[in-house]
A and B are shown apart, each in its own frame.
Chain A
Amino acid sequence: MSPTEVKELGCGRLEAAWEVLKQIPDPEVPVISLFELGIVRDLRETAAGLQVVLTPTYSGCPATELIQDDVRAALARFGEVEVILQRAPAWTTDWISEAGRAKLLAYGIAPPGRVLSDQPQPIRLVHRAALTQLACPRCGSAQTEKLSAFGSTACKALYRCLSCREPFEYFKPI
């Protein structure tokens, strides 16, 4: 086998692995993939096998271990897989892809707004209340209210639509 052939084979293998990696759903919100969620930082080939670099969403997200297991299991057919957690740069909801946002919305979860600048924000309230005028993902009404700042998972808050009366989740921008 010539060096060129080896390289091409290697590329094909990485591409095939990327295709598999891109299909792995998020365990908490299975409508969106880990790739669309923006936590897959890199996939590379090393002497020991495949190496996947993930960035955790929240410090205490209990799905982090499960996600690592899912990635290892999905890529097992490629041989050895090492999963590396890389904290920096910190994950932000701005990394959720447009396709991912559309899927969240269709699923009934309002996608996160853009994260505002790192400039200091007022500790309280009035200003923040104005920021969270969310449209209902079901009927589109802008008449919504926050029910709970924290929801069923670390990444979501709970809202209610005042028009169609349905509760819905909001993926918090961080």
Chain B
Amino acid sequence: MSIASIQVGNKADVHYLLRIADACLILSQRLGEWCGHAPILEEDLALTNMALDLVGQARGLLTRAGQLDGQGHDEDQLAFLRDERQYLNPVLMELPNSASGNSRPGDFALTQVRNFGVATWLLLLWQGLEKSSDAEVAAIAAKAVKEASYHQQHAADWVVRLGDGTAESAAKAQAALALLWPYFNELFADDAVSAAAVAQGLGPAWSTLKPQWQAQVAEVLADAQLSRPKDSAYVPTGHLGIHSEHMGHLLAEMQYLQRAFPGGKW
């Protein structure tokens, strides 16, 4: 097997699925960075368990995207052999685990606030994908709904615990929310790719998830006594393959083994 980078084609259905697969894959990589470093053992287990669920969801979608792309690329090749511009995850997922840009020490509040926002989004998205015209995608979604629901509850508990906790935990949760808020915009971005997915019944346009997402987030922020930041017009462009400065560093670590030992398996 070669270590040469691969490229996917321009089919809208492939891009639609890769956006979601990569969202799961890249957030999974960030959560994995907590392994051995979470503030308490229980959260070390929780964050890595959720990373495992996310990577499982990504595997299913990457495999399906590879089939639809029709170039014979399997899940591993798609996960490890694309270059940065070929990853289509929202920028939110690739942001480091702390505002300083370092993963260690990570910012626990930032991780929980992101997990809550993403799990709420993924839960709504999987619920839409359960009705996909693509039977394989619908089956992946039916399983993922249960997992995302558990992730959402877990992260929501933490957002409330931090927001309605000490002055320091509340300040950290509020700061994390302020930092992440503009990045959430990308979770509701539509374009020709989403229009094509809707037209063929593959999945929902992300913008249609927004009202429910806002309602569920508002409910938990109220419980947490956190205030909703002011909306921003900024829409990041990870879903188009244009990423932040953090993506290359993340990929360097994530792809290292496959680039060093091409085709390596365990």
Which residues of A are at the interface with B, using a C-beta cutoff of 8 A?
A: 56, 58-62, 86-92, 121, 123-125, 128, 147-152, 154, 158, 172, 174
Contacts and interface: CB of A to CB of B under 8 A. Distances in A.
B56 A128 contact: no
Given A58-B56, A60-B59, A62-B52, A87 B220 contact: no
Contacts of B59: 59-60
A23 to B, nearest CB: 27
Interface of B: 41-42, 45-46, 49-50, 52-57, 59-60, 120, 135-136, 138-140, 142-144, 146-147, 149-150, 152-154, 156-157, 160, 216, 219-220, 223
B220 A124 contact: yes
Contacts of B157: 124-125
B36 to A, nearest CB: 15
A147 B50 CA distance: 17
A124 B53 CA distance: 21
A59 B216 contact: no
A39 B53 CA distance: 18
B153 A123 contact: yes
A58 B219 CA distance: 29
Contacts of A151: 45
B55 A60 contact: yes
Nearest to A128: B153
Nearest to A125: B157
A174 B146 contact: yes
Given A87-B60, A150-B46, A154-B52, A124 B156 contact: yes
A66 to B, nearest CB: 12
A125 B153 CA distance: 8
20 contacts: A58-B143, A59-B56, A59-B60, A60-B52, A60-B57, A62-B52, A87-B136, A87-B139, A87-B142, A88-B142, A89-B142, A91-B143, A92-B146, A124-B156, A124-B160, A124-B223, A125-B153, A150-B154, A151-B45, A154-B49
**Which of B59, B138, B139, B152 is packed against the most chain A CB atoms within 10 Å?**
B139
Given A147-B42, A149-B154, A61 B146 contact: no
A18 to B, nearest CB: 25
A174 B143 CA distance: 9
Return the 6 tightest CB-CB contacts between A and B, nearest first: A60-B56, A59-B56, A87-B139, A88-B139, A148-B42, A60-B52
Contacts of A92: 146
A139 B223 CA distance: 37
A59 B147 contact: yes
B56 A61 contact: yes
Nearest to A152: B45
A58 to B, nearest CB: 6
Given A124-B153, A124-B160, 13 more contacts: A58-B56, A58-B143, A60-B56, A60-B57, A90-B146, A91-B143, A123-B153, A123-B220, A124-B157, A125-B157, A148-B46, A154-B49, A154-B53
A14 to B, nearest CB: 26
Contacts of A123: 120, 152-153, 156, 216, 219-220
B62 to A, nearest CB: 12
A62 B49 CA distance: 11
A61 B144 CA distance: 12
Contacts of A59: 53, 56-57, 59-60, 140, 143-144, 147
A129 to B, nearest CB: 10
Contacts of A125: 153, 156-157, 160
